[in-house]
Chains A and B, each alone.
Chain A
């Protein structure tokens, strides 16, 4: 990030009034960043903002309600903050938003596909167009376009949609809504058996760790989730693909019109199941039916949280 020093300065000024500011810092190796909770001045120096900062920090906000929290957000992350505000799950006056223009983050899975063994990373340099990785003594120059997260390749909101502080210049995007759903359209066109077969195969290796749920900023009933509850007892604890798949369906339905497609569910999955596709499918439907996108306007009411006697595009009764 070009204006990291500006951002640090903004954080430094605001920190005395805040309990904590959440950002990112270096992780367990040079290829990975990790969320960073800034409480003291010296923590600010460790702040890192670049294409490795994949985590959507808005996930932490609902559980920190009551505290004065600063949060550094990419454009997509800011949509989660907005959606949380829309649903009154956080309080605007308690959250200080530090935005910046984001040029995209990497998909670690894509990097793994190209580099292979990422167990020993010697160094990693990230620029706008390239990720230079040295793994076990071998240098790999990866074009950013090859390792960019899918959501970033078709991003329409690279700048924080809501912020109290904004560092650096805004980024312009030319992507359209349709650009972001080509994968959904492609999947929709497959025969039913193929679609179902795909999910049976993919979901089979789910270990039911619910990282997808807990990484999701909008999944706020995690401690009381139907995935494990006995009352209601909707899912069996058997290691059956039926139950693993059913959870994803429930998850997607709960997120219809709420999901901002930050992709944390899929990124968090330790066994790389492409579960974002479920949510994108729901969002595509929501857009078609309600002409609505989650997390854009703090004052808007999500369509499934309200009721209209007549919906323009719901004509099932043929009236």
Chain B
């Protein structure tokens, strides 16, 4: 990051992947060789993407820091900025302010079993940590992934799923909400499937992200399985502008999601005022 925290680094879009009807993934490289060389981040940290003339929006860097050929952001079309970003294609210029916020405590997670539970676009922040761990596979214990979406067409990163399913050092489970022709995996809501998988909380951490309602019930399911609040990690999303804890809109009590988050344990969230 430059000394001016508001000045985006210019980047070039290398590739655009249409993940689902509403999600596109952008693979970008920073233009300035020095900035590119110095750039590093932790899995879970976010960036602000600039669509000049429209504004900025926050997305997690969902590629892992172990693969620095490009930075990957997945963008769900919901508002003004994301709609503009969806019009961009390979070769287009984009502004990037990153990394912002905190990362998953991947050092503390070493030697532990990991359970990833992702729903919809919520798979993006899990992907960076999952790939980071797969790239440092010996540092971690058993890794389980449960990824769910409404239907197969709503499933992002579908091109990676066969490999994930095939790997014998990764226990992958996929689920959709309702029966779909040709679907060979689980059918059912994520928390229910999670209970069926029945992961042991022993020396294990769970990392979950998805729509608020899914997180709520997933956390309940994890509690039922014996996971303590400190063993459950999630990432929060808030309206953000400055990204550096100043502009004042993303706070939950004393915690600024753009700076102190987006990664929190469930125990930490419980300590914060109830204003999600």
Interface residues of A (CB under 8 A from B): 230-231
CB distance from B67 to the nearest CB of A (A): 35
3 closest A-B pairs by beta carbon, nearest first, are: A230-B80, A231-B80, A230-B55
Q: Interface size on B (CB < 8 Å)?
A: 2
Q: Which residues of B contact A (CB under 8 A)?
A: 55, 80
Q: Which residues of A contact B55 (CB under 8 A)?
A: 230
Please give, as numbers and ranges, the residues of chain B lying within 8 Å of A230 by CB-CB distance.
55, 80
What are 3 A-B contacts with C-beta separation under 8 Å? A230-B55, A230-B80, A231-B80
* B206 CB to nearest A CB, Å: 37
Closest beta carbon of chain B to A306's beta carbon, Å:
34
User: In the complex, A231 Cα to B80 Cα: how many Å?
Assistant: 8
- Determine chain A's interface SS by DSSP, over half rule: loop
Provide the residues of chain A in CB contact with B80, threshold 8 Å.
230-231
Residues of B within 8 A of A231 (CB): 80
- A88, chain B: closest CB distance, angstroms: 31
CA distance A263 to B271 in the complex (A): 46
- A229's closest neighbor in chain B, by CB? B80
A177 to B55, CA, bound (A): 49
In the docked arrangement, what's the CA distance between A230 and B57, Å?
14
Distance in angstroms between the alpha carbons of A231 and B79 in the assembled complex:
9
Q: Which residue of A lies closest to B80 (CB)?
A: A230
The CA of A230 and the CA of B55, in the complex, are separated in Å by 10
CA gap between A156 and B80 in the complex, in Å? 48
In chain B, what residue has the closest Cβ to A230?
B80
Q: B154: shortest Cβ distance to chain A, in Å?
A: 25
A234 to chain B, nearest CB (A): 14
Chain A min CB distance to B198 (Å)? 46
Expressed in whole angstroms, the minimum distance between the Cβ of A175 and any Cβ of chain B is 48
Give A64 to B10 CA distance when docked, in angstroms. Answer: 49
CB distance from B124 to the nearest CB of A (A): 24
Q: How far is the CB of A235 from chain B (nearest CB, A)?
A: 15
Closest to B55 in A: A230
A231–B55 Cα distance when bound, in Å, is 13
CA distance A167 to B212 in the complex (A): 52
B193: min CB distance to chain A, Å = 38
In the docked arrangement, what's the CA distance between A231 and B84, Å?
A: 13
Cα of A230 to Cα of B80 in the assembled complex, Å: 8
In the complex the two chains form, what is the Cα distance from A231 to B54 in whole Å? 11
How far apart are the CA atoms of A230 and B51 in the complex, in Å? 14
Distance (Å) between the CB of A231 and the closest chain B CB?
6
CA distance A230 to B56 in the complex (A): 13
Which residue of chain A lies nearest to B83 when distances are taken between CB atoms in the complex?
A231
**What separation, in Å, do the CA atoms of A230 and B82 have in the docked complex?**
13
Q: How far is the CB of B217 from chain A (nearest CB, A)?
A: 30
Bound complex: CA A138 to CA B162 (Å):
86
User: What's the minimum C-beta distance from B249 to chain A, rounded to whole angstroms?
Assistant: 13
User: How far is A230 from B241 in the complex, measured between Cα atoms in Å?
Assistant: 14
Distance (Å) between the CB of B6 and the closest chain A CB? 15
Alpha-carbon separation in the docked complex, A231 to B82 (Å): 13
Q: How far, in Å, is A191 (CB) from chain B's closest CB?
A: 39
Cα A23 to Cα B80 with chains together (Å): 42
In the complex, the chain B residue whose C-beta lies closest to that of A233 is B80
Least Cβ distance of A228 to chain B in Å? 13
Identify the closest chain A residue to B81 (Cβ): A230
B153 to chain A, nearest CB (A): 27
Task: Report the bound CA distance from A277 to B133 in whole Å.
Answer: 67
